[in-house]
Amino acid sequence: MHILATSTAFPPHYYSQREFLDTLLTYWGDDPKVASIIGRLHLRTGVDGRYFSRPLNDYLALDTWGKCNDAWIETAVDLGERAIDCALKQAGLSPDQLRAIFFVSVTGVASPSIDARLVNRMHLAPNIRRNPIFGLGCVAGAAGLARAADYVRAYPDQIAVLLSVELCSFTWQRDDKSVANLISVGLFGDGAAAVIVAGDNIPGRGPRILASDRAFYPDTEDVMGWSISEKGFNIVLSPDVPKVITENLGRNVDDFLLAHGMTRRDIGCWIMHTGGPKVLEATAEALGITRDQLEVSWEALRRVGNLSSASVLVVLDEIMKHRRPAPGTRSILAAMGPGFCAEMLLLEW
């Protein structure tokens, strides 16, 4: 299995962290304690700016979950089409050559799902295998890529696409003044990413996917996720996230590599979910690597914020296009998310 092409797509509205903070203060500025907290938190997120699906002032009118979700569907279809179309053009493929589509998101719901709507809009093959996946959160970029690789392993003459669309701005809860929500509204952004994966019988020059593995941590469902109510998605974000990463990720990666006769010394490139500053610091500590070895992840966080499942794919896209390692280099691509769990892939360039 190998990766043929990657792409990203973003909405047209980009705001600096300072601009967004000023907007938040119009909502919460009447509470001096909250204003002080968000000012302190948001300037420590490592985020310079983010993309938003709507102009900031338009979010005032999205005062119900239904309105937010309708906007999510509209934007998700548009960004999804752009991301897949761009990846197809890079790979020199037509839409009807795709035989499976894996769609991941955790910021909205739709039935028919977004992938079904794209079959109609993009004239994908009517017998394409559709695989919508909801609920995996940040880990879904890596997990979706692993599931797409599993598919083309079984069908080596076929091509699959993974699409991630995360529109975190539509999940913002204006009545929630918890620290978890104050952090999340300063960290998460909107965007999409697509990855085209081909079986061994399809020629291509992208990195090979050698293997994948995953780890689930029992009784950690309260570490991260959503509490879903009539108001929509309320963030669950425990301060224990970095601790869980530090205690588990290094061991998970070591066990994965050992199963393939390797150690961390054999890895020349790390493709990691951006998370946030504490997540990236915990990742480096767990793996025994330097901040410089996660430079692309730090840069993605700075430019676009945390995009949940799309984050690790944005890092992959940057490496594919601008920082491709030397042939023969091995990479670990990994993300962690609700469950709590980890997903890892071993790549060779």
Q: Is 283 left (phi over 0), alpha (psi -120 to 50) or beta?
A: alpha
Contact (Cβ atoms closer than 8 angstroms) between residue 86 and residue 198: no
Contacts 24+ apart (CB under 8 A), 280-286: 280/46, 281/242, 282/241, 282/242, 282/243, 282/245, 282/246, 282/249, 283/245, 283/249, 285/246, 286/245, 286/246, 286/247, 286/248, 286/249, 286/250, 286/253
Cα three-residue angle 344-345-348, rounded to 5 degrees: 150
DSSP 3-55: EEEEEEE--SEEEEHHHHHHHHHHHHTT-HHHHHHHHHHHTTSS-SEEEESS-
Catalytic residue among 138, 168, 269, 341: 138
Rounded to 10 degrees, what is the CA torsion of 89, 144, 169, 340?
-160
Tokens of 348: 């060779």
Q: 306 in helix, strand or coil? A: strand
Which stretches of the chain are assigned E, i.e. beta strand?
Answer: 2-9, 13-16, 49-52, 100-105, 129-134, 159-167, 190-198, 208-216, 224-229, 232-237, 267-272, 330-337, 341-348
- If you ran DSSP here, which 8-state letter would residue 323 be given? -
Rounded to 10 degrees, what is the CA torsion of 310, 316, 317, 323?
150
Catalytic, 68? Answer no
Q: Which residues are catalytic?
A: 138
